[in-house]
Structure 1
């Protein structure tokens, strides 16, 4: 591993770091939302419900694969001063959600990031090399897909969904939901259904499919906002944030602390995740109220040798960078202050915290 100077580490949640700095990196943690996918669901009146999506429903589109490949090329250019040309497993680690679209995104990105060179060329007709992609089954993953069962979280989420706040949201959008129900041929009675419907329509639009006449830009914008509100409900309380985004943030902070202590960490750790993962992290950081991350959206945590942390967000794989302040700490913020600010949303014993306490 080549010895470097400042900054010690860049932790990147869900995305990319394409802001060029003269004094770059020794270690990077990078999480990014997967690339463009095909719809996961359709609706009864969908003129494209029998559309032959390449790769199948819910998988990366060809454009999504290219987005992730280009992301890998950009990472290679951006990190060329510290990242070795040859892939070594001790220096690069790739972790993904269980979902095929995330696994395929990781594979596409690493194809652009680490094309084989020199002794690693194994087929001169195919300048590609396989990199190991690690993942946990959906039911065991509480950090990336965040689907591990947590009884106390589930109970709290159910309370949120029947809360007066949600009932008011449904009531204020009753006419919209009736309109959507009449035109889609299905019962649209929740924010979750609105979000899923928006996702399907957005992807059809991105793929140059003509949208139904009952749909217009204003309605799409309203549905997108409701979709963002639906995503936010999954981290409505401090406890819910601790059980979701807090797990990942605690891991990132631990990695940064190890780097400052001089312990060997991979130069680059990549994590291929979902939009809800990003929402959990941003809301746990108190950086947003509602947001609908685009394909390839990212949050970047940069740690410098003096212990300062900087956060950068991009809302798509090639979006503009937005530097974010952390709670009341102006960026860049000292890691110790960052950790102290996040203490209420960092879990101590996740399994124990998930238990519902019963009266004796």
Structure 2
């Protein structure tokens, strides 16, 4: 193996929001809404131990070396906390790294980008083109037909939750707290136990993932930036005898996992669970560089391999790059149709002069960010 990349969803958390008529109100979550729970902390610690065992011999997992691993997280607190818990499981201090005999833990750097400018992990950076494409999907005949067919179900949901207008775009506001409550053995409101209700909610939640990544262009704008970084790092590794770092870890969200899988054409449209893990590995097999993708979306099962459609086995890096070219942006800011006022500061006009014909020429400064890490939501 030459260079693996890992993306995982954060661990178990409290609900991001609670519907008005939920009997399990905010007081049931003492740490507040949207925060990593003790269950989630333990999940991530165990996932770190899983990675430690899986890559034993490739990584020096008995001794942290900053030249081996680079960790990046979404700036959202639950993802940062997940990264720290994960690393505690991956790198327990040994020997001279023990700085406190009563605390077998060591600080390991985790990098992050402010959510509002992050187009790779938190996915909070503005993208007007994507917003327009999403609105077009919601207004498309196919989705409008789905919405009409579920009209009675939505009305039942509105009546029992107190949410004023329910649809596939907002179905997460109901399914999310129910998933969190189920994980903590809380009793649901009676209406949830009616025949077919929970199954229907799960089906609509899966549909919502499909809607948000409905076209290759939408996957390109959301999952493309992270995939582009992964591909760039793999291509760089092929030019080095000893790549450094040799392991990239990302801690992010369910949406991050879904968008990356979609950009690689391997997303099955099922919601990634807490701790869902995607591994993209680069192997050197008989002088050929080969890409392998593994996905762990069940708590107590091993990762299983995913296969990029059209890529002969073993899937060579050059073929992987070619087959995902449609979902890797060339210039993300330009493709998102960002106005100058929303461009990163380093990309705004540094100077304006006049062309020979009198028209303005804007010189845009270039920037390069080399950050790579592991995933959470």
**Superposition TM-score, scaled by structure 1 size:** 0.88
Query: Is residue 100 from structure 1 mapped to residue 81 from structure 2 by the alignment?
Result: no
Provide, for residues 24-83 of structure 1, a one-character-per-residue CA deviation record: whole Å limited to 9, x for no partner: xxxx21110000101011112111113331422101111110000011112122222122
Residues paired across the two proteins, number: 333
Mapping of 1:313-332 within 5 angstroms?
Answer: 313-332=295-314
Q: Matched residues in 2 for 1:331 and 1:37: separation?
A: 38
Q: 2:294 aligns with which of 312, 331, 336?
A: 312
1:355 is matched with 337
1:229 is matched with 207
1:79 is matched with 55
Say if 1:180 and 1:188, in contact at 8 Å, map to a contact too: no
Structure 2: state its 5+ residue gaps.
340-377
Aligned-partner SS, 2:211: helix
Say if 2:278 and 2:295, in contact at 8 Å, map to a contact too: yes
Query: Is residue 176 from structure 1 mapped to residue 176 from structure 2 by the alignment?
Result: no
Q: 2:28 aligns with which of 41, 47, 52?
A: 52
Question: Displacement, 1:113?
Answer: 0.8
Q: Matched residues in 2 for 1:174 and 1:286: separation?
A: 31
Say if 1:298 and 1:316, in contact at 8 Å, map to a contact too: no
Aligned-partner SS, 2:324: helix
Aligned-partner SS, 1:66: helix
Q: 1:336 aligns with which of 300, 315, 318?
A: 318
Mapping of 1:51-70 within 5 angstroms?
Answer: 51-70=27-46
Aligned-partner SS, 1:214: helix
Question: Displacement, 1:133?
Answer: 1.1
Aligned-partner SS, 1:215: helix
Structure 1: state its 5+ residue gaps.
1-6, 10-27
Judge which range, 258-267 or 244-253, deviates more. 258-267
Q: 1:253 aligns with which of 231, 234, 237?
A: 231
Q: Matched residues in 1 for 2:223 and 2:26: separation?
A: 37
Say if 1:232 and 1:289, in contact at 8 Å, map to a contact too: no
Question: Displacement, 1:304?
Answer: 0.9
Query: Is residue 121 from structure 1 mapped to residue 98 from structure 2 by the alignment?
Result: yes
1:12 is matched with none
Q: Matched residues in 2 for 1:120 and 1:300: separation?
A: 28
Question: Displacement, 1:171?
Answer: 0.6
Mapping of 1:13-28 within 5 angstroms?
Answer: 28=4
**Superposition TM-score, scaled by structure 2 size:** 0.84
Say if 1:37 and 1:58, in contact at 8 Å, map to a contact too: yes
1:150 is matched with 127
Aligned-partner SS, 1:233: helix
Q: Matched residues in 2 for 1:247 and 1:331: separation?
A: 26
2:343 is matched with none
Q: Matched residues in 1 for 2:117 and 2:220: separation?
A: 17
Question: Displacement, 1:188?
Answer: 4.0
2:9 is matched with 33
1:285 is matched with 264
Q: Matched residues in 2 for 1:168 and 1:128: separation?
A: 54
Query: Is residue 42 from structure 1 mapped to residue 24 from structure 2 by the alignment?
Result: no
Judge which range, 200-209 or 255-264, deviates more. 255-264
| Runs of 4+, deviation exceeding 3 Å | 316-320
Say if 2:265 and 2:324, in contact at 8 Å, map to a contact too: no
1:8 is matched with 2
Q: Matched residues in 2 for 1:325 and 1:198: separation?
A: 30
Aligned-partner SS, 1:272: strand
Judge which range, 312-321 or 182-191, deviates more. 312-321
